[in-house]
Amino acid sequence: MEKIKVLIVDDSVVVRRIISDTLSTDPALEIVGIAANGHIALEKIARLKPDVITLDIEMPVMDGLQTVVEVRKLYPRLPVIMFSTLTERGARASLDALALGANDYVTKPSNVGSVGEAMQCLRDDLIPKIKALCGLPEVRKVIEKPRSTVAPVEAVKRSPVIRAGKKERVDVVAIGISTGGPNALAEVIPGIPADFPVPIVIVQHMPPVFTRLLAERLDSKAAIKVYEGAAGACVEPGHVCLAPGDFHMQVEGSGGSLKIKLNHDAQENSCRPAVDVLFRSVANSFGPNVLAVIMTGMGQDGLIGCEHIRKAGGQIIVQDEPSSVVWGMPGAVSRAGLADQTLPLGGLAAEITNRVSYGRSYAPAAHQAVRL
């Protein structure tokens, strides 16, 4: 099997060595070069033809953001994974890089006791992202294998199934998303009209600080209010609540007294927040009146939650493979036969709005003024 060729771009000798030593432990990966800044990286990309690059944000001569712009001009399909610090400045820069065309990001290990622990963090976070973005078949198979509580063997063998059952009225929209999520949400959420009559709750796999800044960015572009979830906050129609990094988010209550509950329980699917946690809670609180949306992302978080929503009688739509950065999460749900519909990214906002319109006297305004 041909190895994935990696180019490491970072001005720190220590960081380059840690990344190189970590990636070298995986037989599927090959380090083909290193570069201390973006200018050198562009020259080496042309010569070495890597399959993926890891790219630091703060570098002399040409920084990571400038490099992303140039890489996208010359190599529109080359996977780029940003390397940033777990700080507000690093988070803002990472979101800027994603908006400019980077595929994903990894935060530099912090507060770890040794180089060995730092390397383990990178094995757990960076290596799976490299493999997923490069479409390594074995990785996709492992990542996407459903951990279903209902006939898992049959589910993994089944072809995609589109269900056409009875529609119930939608009283909440729950979205699960991961790799490629910030840009995907930046397309979907601004497409939701200002008079949207139900709440939207979202789990995007992101660390603390990142989720708050993402919510702020989405809020600045959307016609509806977008905010990071807080314990005890009310779940209101026409508002979008994004789970905070490192906390599971649940919706609890009934009728007009629905509130956000946060906890720091163990990770699920190696994630906190986890989509499964949120989806189980909306299935419990809303029963058949849930519309679940699974969008681009690695792994299979949301699969078991979708089983709960399906069992409760709710609806499920998934993003299609061509428009997904990684089709792990939506692919797992699709192959398990749980999806009512599979749509490209550009069709999700309209379909969400249409399904929410069903069964209620609500017709979205033809022209929505941007919320001030």
Question: How many Å apart are CA 316 and CA 306, to the nearest integer?
Answer: 7
CA separation, residue 248 to residues 75, 231, 264, 345, 363 (Å) = 37, 11, 6, 26, 33
| Extended strands (E) in the chain | 4-9, 29-35, 52-56, 80-84, 104-107, 172-177, 200-204, 225-228, 239-242, 248-252, 259-263, 290-294, 315-319, 341-343
CB neighbour list of residue 236: distance below 8 Å, 6 or more residues apart: 199
Identify the pLDDT of residue 109.
78
The pLDDT value recorded for residue 147 is 35
| CB-based contact 83:10 (threshold 8 Å) | yes
- Among the options 205, 308, 323, 334, which is catalytic? 205
Q: Of how many residues is the chain composed?
A: 372
Closest Cα to residue 220, out of 260, 253, 267, 186? 186
pLDDT at 306: 98
Q: Is the whole model's pTM more than 0.85, yes or no?
A: yes
Is 239 annotated as catalytic? Answer: no
Query: What is the number of alpha carbons within 13 Å of residue 326 lying toward its C-beta?
Result: 30
| CA distance linking residue 214 with residue 145, whole number of Å | 29
pLDDT at 255: 62
- Name the 3-class secondary structure at 95: helix
Choosing from 84, 94, 178, 281, which is the catalytic residue?
Answer: 178
Angle between helices 328-335 and 303-312 (to 10 degrees): 40
- Phi first, then psi, for residue 319 (nearest 5°) are -75, 145
Q: Which domains are present in the chain?
A: 4-134 (3.40.50.2300), 146-357 (3.40.50.180)
How far from the centroid of its chain's Cα atoms is residue 149's Cα? 24
Q: Which of 10, 75, 18, 82 is nearest to 40 (CA)?
A: 10
Looking up tokens 């979008």, which residue turns up? 240
248 tagged catalytic: no
DSSP 31-44: EEEEESSHHHHHHH
What pLDDT, on a 0 to 100 scale, did the predictor assign at position 166?
Answer: 57
The single residue of 301, 308, 323, 334 carrying the catalytic annotation is 301
Q: Which residue has the tokens 């459903």?
A: 146
Helix, strand, or coil (residue 152): helix
d(CA 105, CA 163): 35
220 among known catalytic residues: no
Per-residue pLDDT tens listing for the chain (372 residues): 789 999 999 999 999 999 999 999 999 999 999 999 999 999 999 999 999 999 999 999 999 999 999 999 999 999 999 998 878 999 999 999 999 999 999 988 766 568 888 889 899 999 999 999 998 643 333 333 333 333 332 333 333 444 455 578 999 999 999 999 999 999 999 999 999 999 999 999 999 999 999 999 999 999 999 999 999 999 999 999 999 999 999 999 866 688 999 999 999 999 999 999 999 999 999 999 999 999 999 999 999 999 999 999 999 999 999 999 999 999 999 999 999 999 999 999 999 999 999 878 777 765 444 444
- Compute the Cα dihedral for 334, 336, 337, 339 and give only its sign: negative
